[in-house]
Amino acid sequence: MNERIAKSVSKFLSLVLRHSPETIGIKLDENGWADVEELIIKCNKNGSQSQMTAELLDYVVENNDKKRFAFNDDKTRIRASQGHSISVELNLSETDPPEYLYHGTVGKFMESIQKEGLKKMSRQHVHLSKDKETAVTVGSRRGAPQILTVRSGSMHRDGFKFYLSENNVWLTDEVPAKYIEFRM
Ligand code: HQG
């Protein structure tokens, strides 16, 4: 498999399955699922992903570095496991978080985060990582990474809910500033 093609398919699927299914004229159901057959047909009608096949989709779901996408049991439907900006009900069950989780961001957001905590911004949840290395990768997408330590255990004891996505990203609705350690 050509990794360049697999990466471009992953990016395109992120766009369609997390943010704008209308790009190729499909609809997701309320739980974020797209019909696989329809997705393949409509991708091929859309100029930018005209090489889509069932095999390619299988490969990307299986080998994606962050396991961003998942099939349902009979592989007739596919969805993104997290990262949505459109409103979908993933039906994730609440999970007890570890004592600390990490968030990778960049310097220009720090002042605002210190004031108002971590917000969902354009997504459905605040995304947190269980290890600093992953947070560094997340922050590096935007520049020199700044890593925040979140006192998730305290938050949970204070009644905040946490969810673990199918691909092991920790999700919560917000992180008030008082639970954030701004120095490593
Ligand atoms: C920041 C990727 C100012 C926040 C990653 C972040 C992740 C604030 C940006 C997933 C703020 C939002 C999500 C506040 C938060 N004031 N800035 N109060 N609160 N921010 O992309 O966490 O590779 O929506 O620090 O790996 O960066 O696409 O969130 O910098 O798991 O699969 O606002 O996306 O996954 O950015 O990334 P994002 P994120 P994929």
Tell me the pLDDT of the chain averaged across its residues. 95
Residue 39 Cα distances to 56, 99, 169, angstroms:
12, 40, 25
Distance CA 2, CA 165 (A): 28
Ligand 1 centre distance from Cα of residue 123 (Å): 8
Model confidence pLDDT, tens digit, residues 127-148? 999 999 999 999 999 999 999 9
Closest CA to 9 of 51, 46, 38, 62: 51
Q: Could you say which DSSP state residue 85 is in?
A: S
Largest CA distance in the chain: 50
Distance CA 125, CA 141 (A): 18
pLDDT at 68 over 90: yes
Ligand 1 pocket test: pick from 16, 127, 147 the residue with the most ligand atoms within 8 Å of its Cβ: 127
Specify the pTM: 0.92
| Pair 172, 128: CB distance under 8 Å | yes
